[in-house]
Chain A
């Protein structure tokens, strides 16, 4: 056999990888949930197919933990309409086809009465259509593509996180206040797929809207989950930007921060990135003081008694503080439970009618579901990373935390309506 044939065989094996890996997951839990919600006693099933392996596994896993804790809490207080809630889960391997078929099987085999969303927006788009086809509500608490509630909107889909327009807009607001009329140089750094490109575009668009006087000096798009970014980083460093907008997250952001620190990059450049709980915890004392962080739900910035209770409960159960993915999954479950109670039924047609325009009490505060696009009116949080570790949580948190209110950062309903056509 020639080496060429070996090469082709290896390429084939590596491409088959995701498929082979997914056969080991499948959904867990048994399938005796009842769908209709008639009568008392028994149980109902809710499902989440999300990424539980690979470089985004931590997002999927902590999100699932939030959902499981929500179900456990509801069950501890007598269940929902007298029924126990069961959570079934599966690993979608970040593959849309896998995520869609798992969602379908959760509905048809496990009789899931509600679905909760995945990490990847591509998987979310596929599951959104499956949910609409079977008329089951789906709540997105991690994937945040604005297209989910505009281009591909269905009445069964609900969005519980700041979307790809809102998040960069909040950061741009914060930056505009900081720099005023000064001219600044900016570079962008983002994972090379739709989320990275959309977020960067959204950020630059927002800077234009806010009339920030900036010059774009470099744009880099390293692959998602790349183990080695030296090449991209050296291109960024030699461009000497004053500000870097970085749309990486999780492990990629940790790797970026550690390598950039070796160049002394944080001394002259202000990096703006999703420095949420998980990357800040992984970085520990290497957290970049003075960099600007943004986070969809930092538990330390949300000062409600419900959040305090949730944080200590989560810590006791999983041994760690909750990520924003866990917090938003929990509040998404509260949103669904609220609608079920109001409707007095698990019936999807009744449940989805209760939410548009409703204000739902959740651990992140009262959350209004906007009628025109089912986007929850949630804020985005921005802050400058502190030079000292927080005495209670042991990690570097935000110094001057800023909460960007929903109305300042979202598209208006008429803008949404135009996109929904």
Chain B
């Protein structure tokens, strides 16, 4: 492989991994605190992207930057409503009930999206500051890909700081381990759960906005991303942010090198990898067995 190919493929790996990580991180964060697999996480991602197309159409050039701030907050508010109105009643139920409930939410949100935005493909332009590419080592490096990688890195650092360096992170971990003691010590447990769920939704909404200039915004993107993000979370270990990061990188490497060397098998490798991990280490590379 020539130097320029190595750089191009490295960018491919990191961009793939970053896109997956932003969505998988929210999914795994919510699982870590709430012990709930939220299939509707894909809806939050799709709504982030759709809202961005609406704002960009209204506001023109500055629309992307406004969307980057506003849309994740709107989606977080959706998350609060979903948590308070629906999921709160399901925490003591078994996983399958929760799964079916969040799957039903995905279908409902998809129907509402069809009514609000229709079935045609929508698209927004990357802001001019992030458009184009520069030459590096003989390869063309897209500026927007670097932006995606940068946002994913910020999300990773932010989540790490929040979970391991703040009191809130400590409480979130305590919610999982011993909710009764935490409640007795005066912590508002339901509020923490709502907050974590809203944060997860916000991350999904943010990823939706970030991918919108590079991808087609259309029906079906909700179900498509949730499968990919779920595979990442399973490989990395459900509940582990570090696992989501490593899982995304593994998928990025496998898919990119697969596409270079054995193109017709590239997408198969990912499923084979998931099956392998499930067989050898069912709780994932960085997960813990559930008590």
Contact = CB atoms under 8 A, between A and B. Distances in A.
Interface of A: 1-7, 9-10, 13-14, 17, 20-21, 24, 52-55, 57-58, 61, 192, 218-223, 225-228, 230-235, 237-238, 250-252, 254-255, 258-259, 262-265, 278-279, 281-286, 320
Given A235-B263, A262-B145, A7 B278 contact: yes
B283 to A, nearest CB: 5
B119 A58 contact: yes
Nearest to B108: A24
Interface of B: 1-2, 4-5, 8-9, 11-13, 15-16, 19-20, 37, 39, 94-96, 99-100, 103, 107, 110-111, 114, 119-123, 125-126, 131-133, 139-140, 142-145, 211, 213-221, 223-228, 230, 234, 237-238, 252, 255-256, 258-260, 263-264, 266-267, 278, 282-284, 287, 289-290
Given A223-B267, A234-B256, A258 B123 contact: yes
Contacts of A61: 119
A258 B214 contact: yes
A126 B263 CA distance: 30
Given A232-B266, A255-B216, A262-B133, A6 B95 contact: yes
A227 B215 contact: yes
A102 to B, nearest CB: 18
A272 to B, nearest CB: 18
6 contacts: A1-B95, A192-B264, A219-B264, A222-B266, A231-B256, A235-B12
A234 B11 contact: yes
Contacts of B119: 52, 57-58, 61
A54 B106 CA distance: 13
Contacts of B238: 3, 6-7
A264 to B, nearest CB: 5
Given A6-B238, A58-B119, A235 B256 contact: yes
Nearest to A323: B120
A263 B142 contact: yes
Contacts of A52: 119
Contacts of B143: 262
A53 B123 contact: no
A122 B96 CA distance: 32
B263 A221 contact: yes
B110 A53 contact: yes
A54 B114 CA distance: 10
Nearest to B102: A13
A222 B267 contact: yes
A20 B225 contact: no
B258 A258 contact: no
B140 A263 contact: yes
Contacts of A235: 9, 12, 256, 259-260, 263
A53 B13 contact: no
Contacts of A252: 216
A259 B221 CA distance: 17
Given A54-B220, A61-B119, A234-B9, A10 B37 contact: yes
A418 B290 CA distance: 62
Contacts of A221: 263-264, 266
A231 B259 contact: yes
A230 B103 contact: no
Given A1-B290, A226-B224, A259 B216 contact: no
Contacts of A21: 107
A1 to B, nearest CB: 6
Contacts of B103: 13, 17, 20
Contacts of A231: 12-13, 16, 252, 255-256, 258-259, 266
A10 B282 CA distance: 14
Contacts of A223: 267
B151 to A, nearest CB: 14
Contact of A238 (B8, B20, B37, B125): B8
A262 B255 CA distance: 20
Nearest to B126: A262
Given A55-B218, A225-B220, A226-B267, 9 more contacts: A3-B283, A4-B278, A52-B119, A55-B220, A57-B119, A220-B263, A230-B256, A231-B256, A238-B4
A9 B123 contact: no
B224 A55 contact: yes
A394 to B, nearest CB: 14
A342 to B, nearest CB: 36
Nearest to A251: B216
